[in-house]
Amino acid sequence: MMDTSTTVQEAFGTFENWKYDENTWFITGLGGSLYMYLLEGSEKALLIDTAYGLCDMKAYCEKLTDKPVIVANTHGHLDHAGGNGFFTEVYMHENAPIDYKTFEGGPCDITKLPHSDFKKRYLKDGDTIDLGDRCIEVIDITSHSNGSLAFLDKDHRLLFCGDELESSQVLMYEIVEAKKNPYDLEMRVRKHKVNMEKLWNRREEFDFCCPGHNGAPIAKEYIQDFIGLSEAILSGTVKVEDKLNHPHIEADPIGAYLCRTRYKKASFFVKKEQLLSMGKRMDMKAVIFDLDGVLVFTDKFHYQAWKKMADGMGIYFDEEINNRLRGVSRMASLEIILERYEGEPLTLQKKEELAEQKNEVYKELLKTMTPEDVSKEVRETLIELKKRGYVIALGSSSKNAKFILQQVDLLDAFDAISDGTNITHSKPDPEVFLKGAEFLGRNPAECLVVEDAEAGIDAGIAGGMKTAAIGDAVNCKKADYVLETFSDLLRILI
């Protein structure tokens, strides 16, 4: 029978090397598909990546150089960081440890390496590693992984770029499911484009790129092709191939969910479902925003005004009841408060008087609002959405919406206003959003509703629109998207 352990050792732990120049070694394994690099300075040498952990790369490098060897990872995936435990400390991106989950089920038990508890030393964009007469600059190019670094060797005119750039394909799907940094294909593609543009802007400082896989060195013009690939994906014009032409990944269960995207010499493997989902995002042409809890926060004023009215009527009212009023019209809110009223039945006229009484108090409180009540993040995001060609509307049940927008200097930011003055039904009825779409001249299917209340999410869905939940609505599973921050809109709307 075949000795399986020997086969694994030969496949994942055997390496060859050759000299690129007097002080630079290319180290390759897996039949030439995996690359590491040893850079020698006058004082010490730097090993970039450590492979799977089945070869003592410290001992291997000490046969090539008599300088003390330090090590840095381009990222934290198993095939690049599995051998870290042969060193007492390793330099890496602060998010690289997220990807250590790839070690599970790997060919090597890294807990048995000599220094499995090696010290992690984190690098950031702009840091330098001085080897003595050879200085290596660190560039953050995170996209493929949760934390990726490139190393620019201006003295030898080489750029070491890990798995973010190579001649065959870059894997753009969640190799590790990480709660800290969940995978969003569009966000990753956008980041990849920005990173490649950053590298291309520095192309006069290096001649070749040295990736972690599939041949090195490669022409720096690959960077331009990867920029073009990202642009093609984001514009919906990318060439998609169902056949991967990669036996190893095709044999993996994940292969059934992947497709190859291609532009000239550049290629990404992506999940086809995620790519199609991006296409749906591209159909959106307009954004309709709720007001309270999304753009501004006037809940405290509503609460104070309703409480004053309720106290005057001897009705119990607290913040829990107030939360039920979110996204609801003034008269409907009054009916909720009156559920605890035990006096004589009220006429419609009396109810209208109570609602107006509340509104007068509320309007006086609104007069204290200023432009400082809108965050810089909100203003900058709205500006960026307009730059990207989106039209935006307000969709609020409040009859005071325009006044509030004037107070905070946001009125001119909107192409249309749909509010309580032009509707007869409040949320979860979709009327306010349908009116907003009508005012914008857009079909409901082209609109994204941004809401902080479940009633608003229901209204958007009822109107045939996509919905994005923010604030108190983030746990609403009916929403199409969840925004942790307002600016997260910019990763949804390309």
pLDDT score of 420 more than 80: yes
pLDDT digit string, tens, across residues 343-381: 888 999 999 999 888 889 888 888 999 999 999 999 999
pLDDT at 180: 44
Query: Measured between alpha carbons, how far is 299 from 321 in angstroms, rounded to an integer?
Result: 12
pLDDT at 31: 81
Of the listed ranges 235-244, 324-333, 341-350, 395-404, the one predicted with least confidence: 324-333
pLDDT at 207: 97
Question: Which segments of the chain belong to CATH 3.60.15.10?
Answer: 4-281
Which tokens go with 405? 């927008």
pLDDT digit string, tens, across residues 223-236: 999 999 998 888 77
Residue that wins the pLDDT comparison between 236 and 198:
198
Of the listed ranges 96-110, 119-133, 422-436, the one predicted with least confidence: 96-110
- Check whether the bond before 345 is cis (ω within 30° of 0): no
Q: Sorting pLDDT into bands at 50, 70 and 90, what band is 278?
A: confident
Q: How far is CA 166 from CA 24, 63, 81, 87, 169, in A?
A: 19, 28, 18, 27, 6
Q: Kindly state the average pLDDT of the residues 372-398.
A: 94
Q: Sorting pLDDT into bands at 50, 70 and 90, what band is 292?
A: confident
pLDDT at 1: 32
Residue that wins the pLDDT comparison between 107 and 493:
493
Q: Sorting pLDDT into bands at 50, 70 and 90, what band is 11?
A: low
Phi, psi of 89 (to 5 degrees): -150, 150
pLDDT score of 114 more than 70: yes
Q: How far is CA 320 from CA 303, 413, 461, in A?
A: 10, 33, 25
CA angle 283, 285, 291 (to 5 degrees): 125
Task: Return the CATH number of 299-366, one of 1.10.150.240, 3.20.20.150, 1.10.275.10, 2.60.40.10.
Answer: 1.10.150.240
Question: Which segments of the chain belong to CATH 1.10.150.240?
Answer: 299-366
pLDDT digit string, tens, across residues 33-52: 899 999 999 999 999 999 98
pLDDT at 177: 56
CATH 3.40.50.620 fits 283-295+371-492, yes or no: no
Residue that wins the pLDDT comparison between 87 and 488:
87
With CA atoms as reference, report the closest residue to 43 among 128, 121, 130: 130
Q: Kindly state the average pLDDT of the residues 76-97.
A: 95
Residue that wins the pLDDT comparison between 187 and 146:
146
Of the listed ranges 18-22, 88-92, 187-191, the one predicted with least confidence: 187-191
Of the listed ranges 18-27, 202-211, 430-439, 472-481, the one predicted with least confidence: 472-481
Q: Sorting pLDDT into bands at 50, 70 and 90, what band is 332?
A: confident
pLDDT at 8: 67
**CA dihedral of residues 229, 234, 237, 238 (deg, nearest 10):** 40
If residue 248 lies in a helix (H) or strand (E), which one and from where to where?
Answer: helix 247-251
Among all residues, which ones are annotated catalytic? Answer: 290, 292
pLDDT at 274: 86
Q: Sorting pLDDT into bands at 50, 70 and 90, what band is 327?
A: low
The overall average pLDDT reported for the chain is 90
With CA atoms as reference, report the closest residue to 9 among 52, 45, 38, 43: 52
Q: What's the pTM value of the predicted model, to 2 decimals?
A: 0.62
Residue that wins the pLDDT comparison between 62 and 333:
62
Q: Kindly state the average pLDDT of the residues 275-297.
A: 83
Residue that wins the pLDDT comparison between 27 and 237:
27
Q: Kindly state the average pLDDT of the residues 99-127.
A: 86
Q: Sorting pLDDT into bands at 50, 70 and 90, what band is 279?
A: low
pLDDT at 319: 84
pLDDT score of 182 more than 70: no
Under CATH, which architecture does the 4-281 domain have? 4-Layer Sandwich (3.60)
pLDDT at 133: 95
- Map tokens 């290319």 to a residue: 26
pLDDT score of 490 more than 70: yes
With CA atoms as reference, report the closest residue to 292 among 480, 487, 472: 472
Contact between residue 139 and residue 197 where contact means Cβ atoms under 8 Å apart: no
Contact between residue 480 and residue 491 where contact means Cβ atoms under 8 Å apart: no
The number of angstroms, rounded, from the C-alpha of 28 to the middle of its chain's C-alpha atoms is 33
pLDDT score of 181 more than 70: no
